[in-house]
Structure 1
Amino acid sequence: MSLIRRSFLQTLFGGSLALTGGVTLAEETNSTNSTTDSPFTVAFLTDTHQPAGNGEVMQKVEQLLDTIQSRETSPGLFVFGGDNVMAVDGGQADEQVDIQFQQWKENVIDRLKVPSVSCIGNHDIRWKDHVKDQAESYLEKKRAVETFGMPSRYYAAEHGGWQFFLLDTFQHNGCEIDDAQWKWFEEELAKSDKPACVVTHAPLMSVTHFYEPSTDKGLGKGYVVPSGWSAHKLADIRKLFRKYPRVKLCLSGHMHTVDRVDVDDTTYICGGAVSGNWWGGKEYLGCPACWMELKLYPDGSWSHTRHEWS
């Protein structure tokens, strides 16, 4: 993580709040081939970073959810890309951790009129609860799994004729899809021919890393990308998706910036951040606060629209 990103996280609770509930429609990127089938609409919200006890932010999140759900094309599913709560991964007091998870349940999950799915972000993990000699218990992720309504730290769900894979990219030893998860994922991909959407917190493929000034050292010798910004084994991921081209979309967050990368038959979209500049009131590296609207068709085609709100 760059110094600029770390400094934002260190000053989160004292920052000003300037985001409003207004929604601006960005230009639609259309990748659909279907002209007859009705689409299934999905709202993708990532990096909400809802802090503990901040009534102003909570009200803004409420307004955003209400605005999305009152749209003429309201979603049939909410997909959350992780870092839903502000941060529980450091030295936060137990009481503050409890409040963050409780308020996500009450302010977001209980407010939704349709189903939701979520993956786990790095700031949703209570590393304090990690037990070294019981690593496979993943106790550090237990609170997030329960609060976000997840059956497990990684899982699959079917909605609107598509299969969604919610994967877990942050492990105690780094940013990766661990062996047990990889084996399960590959076996599940082989069981169906339905179009699939993969959701991870850290991007699987992304150019957002190169937006960060810290990656370019100015030495003329290329870029240095921190290992925590993408899951390892990207070549293996590409090989897997070439084997199973039903993976049409991969959605992610983590970087608070936006991109779209097309590789083979798969499109990778980094969805920015609902919190923008961690509720600092300004855009982050040229990317305002936003959420994504997706139209998914039964034939595997799709389109997406970026909605900025400021």
Structure 2
Amino acid sequence: MYRENNRRSFIKGAVATGVVLSLPTSALSLFDNRRNKVKIGIITDLHQDIMHDGKERMESFLRSMRSEKPDAIMQMGDFAYPGDKNKEVIGMFNDAHKERMHIIGNHDMDSGYTREQCVDYWGMPARYYVSEISGVYFIVLDGNDKGSPSHKGGYASYINEEQASWLEEQLKTLEGPIVIASHQPLAGTYSVDNAEEIQNLLGKYSDKILVAINGHTHIDAHLLIKGVNYVHINSASYYWVGGKFQHKSYSDEVLDQYKYIAYTCPYRDALFTTMTIDPGKQTISFRGKDTEWVGDSPVKLGFEGYENARPGQEIVPEIRKRLIKH
């Protein structure tokens, strides 16, 4: 049964009561002898150009990060068009931490913007890259490649041959533990067109991979495939239900200026998480955060979900706390 959620606090305390996943011992054994935790603040799918309160949602994330004191922060795409209209919110993120990671989402290139503009305006090293944070290697991918032989229209969702070859080279040569990060999923709902190929590649190196994380789907979910944990991180802002379920969740004044909000079920408060890698305990944990729907929920609208995403299961106004352990 769907649970209408009216709690809005950042969940504190032990994560053991959350979802527990398995983790290969070999991946955590790649750490050196130190026992320091590695903490990453994560926000995804802010959709600054759809939401009227994107800046306030980013401020909420950054306030929490000032308290959490992570080793780095990451935004996982569908963030903000790379132009002066969004200079303030982009600057807020970039100025919040000396170690920050950007991932390009499909909607970041709407309205004529390009991947190159995202790289330049956001200050990325490249459209896909490796970032080393306290002994953990983050392989950041770009799932927006064209050229998929199975593409059926709409946004490109693909890791092309050049990028896949680069990915394999990183997996071969990097000696430390690895986190794979992408906007489009590499497994599960709405995964890239060549998901099976990428899963097989990651499976070959599962002894090095701690976890693969993604945004894009606006759901809360996880899968374990060929020894690799895949975790879908929920949107900071809303779940998209589409024109068939168009409805009013905010005032006419807001909707007149931000018309696409009517196609969504917004979250009252911003969702985000902190991923903590603990070599001493040999665990990876995701801190939970929940809120409530603004206006009608997907269930009340009669929305039944799609593929493996179901209201009340994966389609929820929360990021569940999770523990990945050996």
1:22 and 1:146, CA in 2 relative to 1: closer, same or farther beyond 3 A? farther
Matched, 1:308 2:305: no
- 1:200-224 Cα offsets, whole Å, 9 max, x none, are 1111112xx3xxxxxxxxxxxxxxx
Q: Cα RMSD over matched residues?
A: 3.5
Q: Match for residue 193 of structure 1?
A: 175
Matched, 1:290 2:271: yes
Matched, 1:63 2:37: no
1:29 and 1:149, CA in 2 relative to 1: closer, same or farther beyond 3 A? farther
- 1:24 deviates by 4.1
Long gaps (5+) in structure 1 = 1-18, 89-96, 130-139, 210-228
Long gaps (5+) in structure 2 = 1-5, 29-33, 148-155, 241-248, 251-260, 293-326
1:61 and 1:286, CA in 2 relative to 1: closer, same or farther beyond 3 A? closer
The structure 2 residue matched to 1:269, chosen from 200, 223, 231, is 231
1:53 and 1:176, CA in 2 relative to 1: closer, same or farther beyond 3 A? closer
Distance 1:292 1:53 in 2: 20
Distance 1:82 1:143 in 2: 14
The structure 1 residue matched to 2:71, chosen from 76, 79, 86, is 76
Distance 2:85 2:19 in 1: 35
Q: Match for residue 149 of structure 1?
A: 123
Is the Cα–Cα contact under 8 Å of residues 155 and 165 in structure 1 kept in the other structure? yes
SS of match in other structure, 2:83: helix
Distance 2:268 2:192 in 1: 23
- 1:254 deviates by 0.6
Distance 2:205 2:11 in 1: 36
SS of match in other structure, 1:64: helix
SS of match in other structure, 1:78: strand
Is the Cα–Cα contact under 8 Å of residues 157 and 193 in structure 2 kept in the other structure? yes
Mapping for residues 202-213 of structure 1, pairs under 5 Å:
202-206=184-188, 209=189
Distance 1:125 1:191 in 2: 32
Q: Match for residue 87 of structure 2?
A: 102
- 1:240 deviates by 1.0
Distance 2:51 2:228 in 1: 40
SS of match in other structure, 1:302: strand
Q: Match for residue 37 of structure 2?
A: 39
- 1:78 deviates by 0.7
1:184 and 1:57, CA in 2 relative to 1: closer, same or farther beyond 3 A? closer
Is the Cα–Cα contact under 8 Å of residues 185 and 214 in structure 2 kept in the other structure? yes
- 1:125 deviates by 1.5
Equivalent position amino acid for 2:229 in 1: T
Is the Cα–Cα contact under 8 Å of residues 84 and 104 in structure 1 kept in the other structure? no
- 1:273 deviates by 0.7
Distance 2:139 2:230 in 1: 14
Identity across the alignment (%) = 21
SS of match in other structure, 1:262: strand
TM-score normalised per structure 2: 0.66
- What is the aligned residue count? 247
Distance 2:186 2:99 in 1: 25
- 1:295 deviates by 1.1
Is the Cα–Cα contact under 8 Å of residues 24 and 309 in structure 1 kept in the other structure? no
Is the Cα–Cα contact under 8 Å of residues 30 and 304 in structure 1 kept in the other structure? no
Matched, 1:163 2:137: yes
Distance 1:260 1:77 in 2: 23
Matched, 1:23 2:20: no
Is the Cα–Cα contact under 8 Å of residues 139 and 180 in structure 2 kept in the other structure? yes
SS of match in other structure, 2:104: coil
Distance 2:9 2:267 in 1: 19
Distance 1:288 1:260 in 2: 23
- 1:126 deviates by 4.8
